[in-house]
Structure 1
Amino acid sequence: MRQRAVTVHSIRFTERYSGLHSVLQGKRLIAFDLDGTLIDSVPDLAAAVAHALKALDLRQPSEAEVRDWVGNGAPVLVERALTWALQTPPTPALQQRGYDTFMDYYGAAPHALTTLYPGVQQALQGLHQQGMTLVLITNKPERFIEPLLQHFELLDYFALWVGGDSLAEKKPHPLPLLHAAHMCQIPAAECVMVGDSRHDIAAGKAAGFTTVALPYGYNHGEPIEESHPDLVLSSLTELLTTTSQTTKAIE
């Protein structure tokens, strides 16, 4: 029997970004946090913490426990892990040993288990196409930022990035945000800070930025609404307005 070829027309809905959320009206720069905002890095951080504690013959925490410790930079993360394992703050010597072991392990593969949050790629691409200046302000050590951005193909979206050890202060201090605004020659009143933790919101408010929060990241178990950001969004794509288009695809 000869089979007749059949053309099937299916309907697809695609979204085209046509503009910006009203919170971005009059704004030219958006500063993004990294961990808990753009990427879920806890699986890799938890593996590095477990490795460091095991090397010191200490008990290892669960990934869920590490998730509540993230947000203030690598030294604080290691200190919290050691304090949890020892039930007392570590000595400076033990803190340094744990930190060095953590950094070596994490630095060897900082994105082995890390993933992008849904909508991040689309949002950054859309905001970039709309002419927004995008910068990255994180408490993560600077040496890890570029490899992560390259791995997730986000590098070209950002005008600059500031790590937790790039300047004399890190979030929640406003210095990293003010430094980025100064380097881009954009006043704070025309800038927005987007993050997932109280440190992001506190830094943004102190710098005079409009603050936008995301509820899905790392905020030590506290609802981000308690930090009183100017706006809470469920996804970064909500920073863009969309128009739905109906297109025909031939299969």
Structure 2
Amino acid sequence: MHAILQGKRLIAFDLDGTLIDSVPDLAVAVQHALGDVGLPLPGEERVRDWVGNGAQVLVERALTWALAEAPGQVLQTTAYEAFMRHYGAAPNALTQLYPGVQTALHDLHKAGYPLVLITNKPERFIAPILSHFGLLTLFTYCIGGDTLAEKKPSPLPLLHVAQQLDIPSSACVMVGDSRHDIDAGKAAGFATVALPYGYNHGEPIEHSQPDLIIDSLLALTE
């Protein structure tokens, strides 16, 4: 195992942009939601830069782009409900695991590390997606963006799982692809590991100064 895991007893993972490339399915749902309210469609590449802060913010960013101004509450609610309906109907149609994820997670689980998922994606989508890829049983806890009162970059979800498992923050690692993951990890006292291939709003992940940057999750098992 990688040296950063020495003495560690818990590994937390982000989902979108870390374990899965979900943008294709998210983009389809955004396009349908905006189409339902008669607004222009942004395309997948724009959506890629909007992912990472949860579904509400994703929809708000899409509406702001389409309107060239902040949306009103009624339109925000209508579009959000449409997005949730469309995304919930097909969250796995185009989503793929990143290379090495399946093997790395299984190897870490076999090595005895408790694995937890901490994502800003709404909780209702976590189990269907992880089950689709045969990963759900590997995780001890799964925390969504609406599970607790706060989501990343707040450290609350990270501190919550550490407390639930009675593991000190100093013995925990946060693995993610965005500044929200790294900021949350640092604030919680976790070691931080970053992947450069995900969704970080066009900002190089090294700007967040994680403890370690790796190109693949497989690096954690070597």
Larger Rg over CA atoms? 1
The root-mean-square deviation of aligned C-alpha atoms, in Å, is 0.4
Instruction: List runs of 5+ in structure 1 lacking aligned partners.
Output: 1-19, 242-251
Give the aligned residue type for 1:32: F
Are 2:197 and 1:216 aligned?
Answer: yes
Q: d(CA) in 2 for partners of 1:44 and 1:90?
A: 23
Give the aligned residue type for 1:79: E
The residue aligned with 1:41 is 22
**Which of 101, 117, 125 in structure 2 is aligned with 1:136?**
117
Q: d(CA) in 1 for partners of 2:40 and 2:215?
A: 36
Q: SS where residue 165 of structure 1 aligns?
A: coil
Q: CA deviation at 1:187?
A: 0.7
Give the aligned residue type for 1:88: E
Q: CA deviation at 1:165?
A: 0.1
The residue aligned with 1:239 is 220
CA deviations over 1:196-232 (Å, ceiling 9, x no partner): 0000000000000000000000000000000000000
The residue aligned with 1:117 is 98
CA deviations over 1:127-154 (Å, ceiling 9, x no partner): 0111111000000000000000100000
Are 2:178 and 1:203 aligned?
Answer: no
Match runs of 1:70-149 below 5 Å: 70-149=51-130
CA deviations over 1:96-124 (Å, ceiling 9, x no partner): 00000000000011111100000000000
Runs ≥4 residues deviating over 2 A:
none
Q: CA deviation at 1:71?
A: 0.1
Are 2:169 and 1:188 aligned?
Answer: yes
Q: CA deviation at 1:82?
A: 0.1
Identity %: 69
Calculate the TM-score normalised by the size of structure 1: 0.88
Q: SS where residue 68 of structure 1 aligns?
A: helix
Are 2:7 and 1:26 aligned?
Answer: yes
The residue aligned with 1:168 is 149
Give the aligned residue type for 1:161: C
> Going by fraction, where is strand more abundant, 1 or 2?
1
Higher relative contact order (CA 8 A, sep 6+): 1
CA deviations over 1:24-79 (Å, ceiling 9, x no partner): 00001000000000000000000000000011110000101000000000000000
